[in-house]
Structure 1
């Protein structure tokens, strides 16, 4: 039973990723900034085009990352794993650079700006560290770095979950749809969306690292 569940979870993850991408992308096909799920910075003409390309690259990286963390695919078809890995890295770097531009020009205030800047930097940094570890044949280190990278890639989805939660909670403290509420939601969700998953992931990686010699 546990083995069957272990084989099913990649399909569950991929299904969720596809559902999220199907929900996230349609407004950006219109080319209309008013349809954007993220408020564009009106004073910057380049902001919206960069945002659109970043969203498409980020969603593609999310799907490629799902293939990377699929154990059966990695074991049976290592060449597919390597190709998907190169595609993932090739998507993360430009998407991360664009995220830095968007972060430094975000209209949601300095708290969200700090979070988004740090997130983009860590996303690219963990990805490059995973690539370098693979080239050194340090596959255990490669696995750990790429897991961190993929968790950060998933923050685009977990951020949306926190937005819904905070929109429900915060109107009890702030006027609904006010500038204060929107800023608070953006600031809190931008931090919670990636810090909590990354902390939990690091705890699991550390726990597995300690247990593995005992099992051996």
Structure 2
């Protein structure tokens, strides 16, 4: 089955990484785009580890959804899958729990959103990996679609934040008392939740769509 959106998606992921990754490759806290909690000197190393392992996960999962790789190079597909799970999701997800809890910019709601995302990402990926090991490939595919949706939520997170800032701007004076920082904080927190919940809903729609034979519609009650 053709996937015309795979090329554009891979391009978006590469652009996102080209913009987000370089500041952390210097391993210098002053270059961090995210504010750090000065009470915890190990906050920055955890953040860098999360970003680097997350980069592995993003690149690997972009390869995993490529039908050609799965069909023509199944051995490479399997090895890329192991890299995605063991070298990407597992370390990035575990570190993401701590990084999310230490995040400075969002309040409790935003921290809860990031921590929940990391836990759910680890869970669905584990279920997909276990299904593959048991040769339950249809089940494996469904769980890994969910994992892919959660992995790429970081890419759309920025888009959600910008859209929410624009949407909330007319309410700057009435709802936020002219406090631009409060408006941005609200947009960041809402964007954290929306980025992965909406992605997961789209994944569920895709899974159900694949389960329904073409041309078949749910039975409707007769009038």
| Superposition deviation, residue 213 in structure 1 | 11
Matching of residues 128-147 of structure 1 within 5 Å: 128-147=126-145
Aligned to 1:68: 64
| Superposition deviation, residue 184 in structure 1 | 0.7
Greater helix proportion: 1
Question: How many residues align structurally?
Answer: 210
| Superposition deviation, residue 165 in structure 1 | 1.5
Match for 2:79 among 83, 90, 94? 83
Question: Could you tell me the TM-score, scaled by structure 2's length?
Answer: 0.87
| Superposition deviation, residue 212 in structure 1 | 6.7
Aligned to 1:22: 18
The change in CA–CA distance for 1:37 and 1:211 in structure 2 (over 3 A counts) is: farther
Structure 1 unmatched ranges of 5 or more: none
The change in CA–CA distance for 1:151 and 1:98 in structure 2 (over 3 A counts) is: same
Aligned to 1:112: 110
Aligned to 2:47: 51
Aligned to 1:211: 213
Q: Distance between the aligned counterparts of 2:38 and 2:73, measured in 1?
A: 47
CA RMSD, Structure 1 to Structure 2 (Å) = 2.0
Q: Distance between the aligned counterparts of 1:9 and 1:200, measured in 2?
A: 14
The change in CA–CA distance for 1:164 and 1:32 in structure 2 (over 3 A counts) is: farther
Q: Distance between the aligned counterparts of 1:52 and 1:168, measured in 2?
A: 30
Question: Could you tell me the TM-score, scaled by structure 1's length?
Answer: 0.89
Structure 2 unmatched ranges of 5 or more: 218-223
| Superposition deviation, residue 183 in structure 1 | 2.1
